[in-house]
Amino acid sequence: MIRRVSKNISGNRGIWCRYEMKYLISESKASAIAQFIKPHTRPDRHCQSNGCYPIVSLYLDSDDLMLCRESLTGKKNRFKLRIRSYTDEPNYPRFFEIKRRANTVIIKSRAKVIHSDVAPLISGMIPSSRSNGSEGKALEQFQLYHRSIGGMPIVRIQYLRQAFECIADRRARVTFDRNLRYNMTSAPDVSFNGHGWQELLLNKVILEIKFTDYYPTWIEQIIRHFDLQRKSISKYGISVMHGCQSGFNAYKL
């Protein structure tokens, strides 16, 4: 039985606490599942006219890739540091995120910043504009984690997300991530542009089921009906591993 998530954590505006289940599936199975869940879901409110939205994230790590190693080896209590964006439009905010795993629970904190503050924040400088309240605390915590590992930019990762939210409970979501690409970099750049992007998981889709508390019955039906086999999939981990094996940087895992 899945235990209940603490309400006082998930109720904090800057912090989300949830469970995640991931699966690597074929495009045909992804299409079938999308049809199967239609009676129970609606497109995520952030989706564009094509039913999807793009995501790009810059991941930070120590010089010996400590966070990547912990992810690949499945350490139960670990975290990732990333800066996320959904567009290259300079007037759109960027998001500094800590994604922590405490055994089976995912705890994510997020702080919104302006585009021009990304590089100064990564270098440890004080931003020209500060977030307030819970977002301000999340940004302070991000900087604390960042300093503790001597963080630096490692890789950019982008993909296209098709997302659905449960009609009865918006905290339950089903997402399909496609066209995964990565770019090894040491620049404090969070954008979709540039050269050197490498494709990963061709003709495969990453299915993620996310929920708080207990998941709805129809999600259990998806897993059983499509014989889904849960898999540990770290976009950051497999991107760095592929980059190291392909000789795109000097890191060795």
Over the chain (253 residues), what is each successive 10-residue block's mean pLDDT? 39 68 96 96 87 96 95 92 97 96 89 93 73 79 94 97 89 94 95 93 95 85 95 94 77 55
Whole-number pLDDT of residue 49: 77
Q: Are 141 and 121 in contact (CB under 8 A)?
A: no
Whole-number pLDDT of residue 42: 93
Residues contacting 66, CB < 8 A, separation 6+: 149
Residues contacting 56, CB < 8 A, separation 6+: 84, 85, 86, 156, 157, 158, 190, 191, 192
Angle at 109 between CA 181 and CA 86, to 5 degrees: 35
- Give the domain ranges of the chain: 7-245
By C-alpha distance, which of 97, 98, 131, 136 is closest to 114?
Answer: 131
CB neighbour class for 69 (10 Å; exposed up to 12, middle 13-18, buried from 19): middle
- Give dist(CA 25, CA 23) in Å, integer: 6
- Give dist(CA 190, CA 58) in Å, integer: 6
Whole-number pLDDT of residue 65: 95
- Tell me the CATH architecture of domain 7-245: Alpha-Beta Barrel (3.20)
By C-alpha distance, which of 222, 21, 13, 190 is closest to 115?
Answer: 190
- Give dist(CA 183, CA 202) in Å, integer: 16
Whole-number pLDDT of residue 10: 40
